[in-house]
Amino acid sequence: MFSFIEPAPQKIIGEASRIFYYHIPQAWISVIAFAMSMIYSIRFLKKRSLDEDDKAAATAGLGFMFCLLAAVTGAIFAKVTWGSFWNWDPRETSIFILLLIYGAYFALRGAIAEDEKRAALSAVYAIFAFITVPFLIFVVPRIVPSLHPSDSIVNEDMKFTMGPSVRTIFFSSLIVFTAVYFWLFNITRRALKIKRHLLNEDK
Amino acid sequence: MDGNYVVMTVTLVIWLGIFVYLLKLDKKVKQLEEKIK
């Protein structure tokens, strides 16, 4: 709520700067969710428990949803500041590739009927998919010239570029988004567990 | 500034809707968990 009232609009881009309180936490959550998907995939390969596979799929789904939201809010920001929704800027291209990579993860899951086989193949895929995440989100946009702001949070000396009120609202937003993600993950994980239990009863 | 309040109200309604929906969903999942125990 305070993101709309308290901080003064940014000098150059004006009120559009407020999207920053939503866009960055969404991108942050998608990275966390994809990382969790990789962790649960490794755990599946170690334990061979389908519960771990359910958790990996649940968090990858949430990561995809937050990644899509980050792309949409980013496109709105691009329309206001750069004049069009999509410019194939390195950052936009890398998020598009990331969405394709995780879209393929769900296509893979949907294509295999056998539980064990689906879990094993998608676990290996999720591990390789996550290797691309730091490269696409942190490396590519920094080595290729981009219009995307790169010093919204910290500058090259790793010092905060935000004022105290902006920092407070930004980190509050980050905490709320993270809490919502964990809540969603918890509900999805439990629902998938019930589904698996009912499917096993039917067999 | 008026436009900001409109966007803020819409955002608040969306957040409230998400919160109530998740609360209801959590409750439903809890009931199902107790049922299959």
Beta carbons of A41 and A139 less than 8 angstroms apart: no
Asked whether the beta carbons of residue A187 and residue B25 sit closer than 8 angstroms, the reply is yes
B28: containing domain: 1-37
**Which of B8, B26, B36 lies closest to A4 in CB terms?**
B8
Residues in a beta bridge with A14: A10
Q: Do A194 and B36 touch (CB under 8 A)?
A: yes
Q: Which residue of A has its CA nearest to B35?
A: A194
Q: What is the ipTM of this complex?
A: 0.87
CB contact under 8 A, B8 and A1: yes
Residue B7, min C-alpha distance to chain A (Å): 8
- Cβ A190–B36 below 8 Å, yes or no? no
> Which tens digits make up the pLDDT trace of A149-185?
766 665 666 666 666 777 788 888 899 999 999 999 9
Helix axes A90-111, A50-82, angle to 10 degrees: 150
Q: How many CB atoms lie within 10 A of CB A17?
A: 21
By C-alpha distance, the chain A residue nearest B24 is A187
What are residue A19's phi and psi, to 5 degrees?
-65, -20
State the greatest distance between any 2 C-alpha atoms of chain A, in Å, as a whole number. 63
Residue to test with chain B: of A18, A190, A196, A200, most B Cβ within 10 A:
A190
CB contact under 8 A, A187 and B26: yes
Partner residue facing A187 (CB), from B5, B8, B22: B22
Digit-coded pLDDT (tens) for A70-117: 999 999 988 888 888 988 888 889 999 999 999 999 999 999 989 999
Q: Do A1 and B12 touch (CB under 8 A)?
A: yes
Total number of domains constituting chain B: 1
Q: CB distance from B6 to chain A under 8 Å? A: no
A152 by Cβ neighbours in 10 Å (0-12 / 13-18 / 19+) ranks as: middle
Percent of chain B topping pLDDT 70: 97
Q: Which two tokens stand for residue A127?
A: 């591990």
pLDDT, tens only, A37-72: 999 999 999 999 999 999 999 999 999 999 999 999
CA–CA separation, A162 and A160 (whole Å): 6
In a 13 Å sphere around the CA of B19, the CA atoms on its Cβ side amount to 9
* B1-34 per-residue burial string, b: 16 or more CB within 10 A, e: under 16: eeeeeeebeeeeeeeeeeeeeeeebeeebeebee
